Chain A
Amino acid sequence: MVTYIARRLVYSVPVLALASFVLFWAVRTTFDPLAKLRQSHDPTVLARETARLGLNRSVIEQYGLWMKAFLTGDWGTSTRTGGAVSAMIGSALGSTLQLIGWGVLFAALLALAIGLYSAARQYSAGDYAFTALSYLGIAMPPFWVGLLLIQILAVWPQQQFHLAHPPLYFVGLHSPGHSGPDLDYFRHLVLPVLTMTVGLVASWSRFSRATLLESLTGDYVRTARAKGVPRRQILVRHALRNSLAPFVTVVAMDAALLFGGLVVTEQIYSVPGMGRLFLDSMLAGDVFTLVPWMFVVAVAMILFNLLADIGYALLDPRVALR
């Protein structure tokens, strides 16, 4: 196991290096890091900054310099805010991790429950209803889901019952003056978590239904049934346990995509996370934030994919990682 993890990590180094170089090059050719200084009347400022940032060298050299600084902990300064990029990414990662944590937990449990129900009562009215809902969930653009939820769950009740505040908030994660996991926090959390889970539940519940139905066809299930094991116990002890490994893998792989993929949710609900940071940096042409951002997201993706494989091996003893 340890050798497997070590080898996977070593393999990911060239992938990361290549990906980060391509991104570095793409970001540098798209944006001009000195755009703000171009209007400056003092030509020496431009020349000084060009030399300081090493912009007169080749892209490969610039990339090498950036990588060296990055690895030694010097992530640079944002041209947008003037703050340290490492601190900005750190706090953004904190917000995004909260959304991912709650969202994935909620979506996975709900999807598993729906999957169990649909597998136990295949072709029942409830099964058809969940199938229809999952088709809808997959076909709705995520940002539209978010806007509709605000309209239906926050704005409408407030207007209908003439409340001073909407029952659920849709700006940020805390009201001013609040912090920590209090009621205020959860009133902020419900809408973004619901928004991100609609699509996830739709696809994960289909997946868990399919894997559960497949494990129900196994020989061990027939044996258990022949021995007179109750249906509920067969479903939970035999089918669920066997379908859990692929389910956890899919969940982990999709969770990896959320690190940079919550752009829409964070934008709608003004959550200061990674997606928001990306958008703000893009609009401001802040190259010094964009490159480390992509690097961090790529590392998170690689780690979660590794976690997915390890989780599979832990849950399914037949799989040996070598």
Chain B
Amino acid sequence: MTRTAPTTPAPASVPEPSAVPGKGASASRDPGPARIALRRFLRHRLAVAGVLVLLALAVGCFGATWLAPSPRNAQDLLLGATPPSGAHLLGTDELGRDYLSEVLYAGRISLAIGLGVAVLSTTLGTVVGCVAGYFGGWVDEVTMRVADLFLVVPAIALLALAIQGLGSSPVTIVLVLAGLGWTVIARVVRAQVLSLREKEYVEAARVLGVPTVRILWRHLLPNLVGVVVVNVSLSVAAAVILESTLSFLGFGVQPPRSSWGNMLSQASGMVGTSQSYLLYAPGAAILLTVLAVNFVGDGLRDAFDPQGRH
């Protein structure tokens, strides 16, 4: 099963390996929803491959202190720029730094920003969407109109302006990207909560006098796990690409800190020169990360799809 098109209906005839007739049918042996999701996810081969690639990237980047061939920023000015070779797998840059090590160290910031933005914007969007959808009325009206404002203004302009005003430390970049990214998931969550709050069990909870916060937490949130988890993965991909784009334009991570985006930005001057090999590695790292994250997202979507096969 490698079909991963977002809206293609999955063929319904593939037999579930565990659905052995006669067994598993009794209620006591029913696996929990988490087990079902995990099992479905593991069947999605590309998604599992995505997880492995991400794990490898994370270990390589965050363990760069031990794993990288050279220490950070170790220059060899006499060596200068050399193309990829046995001694330096990805070559060296004009300061004679081992490019593989540089890519690994830069990945720390890129991956951290991607993950930070995804978690923060999804949390923010989920809370806002829950509140707007559950309470309705003016709360809903105000938050959704604010979200609409973001549709009118080009994102890259807003981001550049915000970073220019607030500074470009990695923490600020995370905050700014999350401040823009929450609207997508907020809309989705709001739409779901609008229908969920009319369900009988929510009404029953309300009649029984369950506090609102507990209703949101215990009765609504578990239904949203699917969309929320999928959104985290998609936002990681979007954030990694946005960060690199901002860095390329000069509004992202600034030297001496390095990210894949700002490595590419420095390599962009090498187009057409003998050092054009510097262009490939950081871009390929971004490509690999985003590809892996998107596959994981597809796997998660299938795993949590309530219409899917159990």
Range, interface on chain A: 35 or more
B257-286 interface mask toward A, CB cutoff 8 Å, 1 = contact, 0 = none? 000010010011001100010010001001
* Total CB contacts across the A-B interface at under 8 A: 139
**Dominant SS at the A interface?**
helix
Taking the complex as formed, is B143 at the interface, i.e. its CB lies under 8 A from any CB of chain A?
A: no
Complex contact B149–A15 (CB within 8 A): yes
Complex contact A139–B294 (CB within 8 A): yes
Q: A139-B294, A144-B283 are in contact. Are A206 and B5 (CB under 8 A)?
A: yes
Taking the complex as formed, is A302 at the interface, i.e. its CB lies under 8 A from any CB of chain B?
A: yes
Complex-state Cα separation, A128 to B5, whole angstroms:
10
Complex-state Cα separation, A70 to B198, whole angstroms:
48
Least Cβ–Cβ distance between B163 and chain A, in angstroms: 10
Complex contact A16–B248 (CB within 8 A): no
**B291 partner residues in chain A, CB cutoff 8 A:** 135-136, 139
Least Cβ–Cβ distance between B58 and chain A, in angstroms: 17
Q: A135-B294, A139-B290, A147-B264 are in contact. Are A29 and B8 (CB under 8 A)?
A: no
B284 closest partner in A (C-beta) = A144
Interface of chain A residues 17 through 47 with chain B (CB within 8 A): 18-19, 22-23, 26-27, 29-31
**A209 partner residues in chain B, CB cutoff 8 A:** 5, 8
Taking the complex as formed, is A150 at the interface, i.e. its CB lies under 8 A from any CB of chain B?
A: yes
**How many B residues, CB 8 Å from partner?**
45
A138 closest partner in B (C-beta) = B294
Complex contact B287–A136 (CB within 8 A): yes
Q: Which of B32-40, B90-98, B152-160 is the contact stretch?
A: B152-160
Selected from A155, A261, A290, the residue in CB contact (under 8 A) with B271 is A155
Q: A27-B161, A141-B286 are in contact. Are A210 and B6 (CB under 8 A)?
A: yes
Please give the residue numbers on chain A whose beta carbons come within 8 Å of chain B beta carbons, in ascending order.
Answer: 15-16, 18-19, 22-23, 26-27, 29-31, 123, 128, 131, 135-136, 138-144, 147-148, 150-151, 154-155, 159, 206, 209-210, 213-214, 257, 259-261, 263-264, 267-268, 278-279, 282-283, 290, 293-294, 297-298, 301-302, 305
Please give the residue numbers on chain B whose beta carbons come within 8 Å of chain A beta carbons, in ascending order.
Answer: 2-8, 145, 148-149, 151-157, 160-162, 164-165, 237, 241, 244-245, 248-251, 261, 264, 267-268, 271-272, 276, 279, 283, 286-287, 290-291, 294-295
**8 pairs, CB–CB < 8 Å, chain A vs chain B:** A131-B3, A138-B294, A147-B271, A150-B271, A151-B271, A293-B157, A298-B152, A301-B154
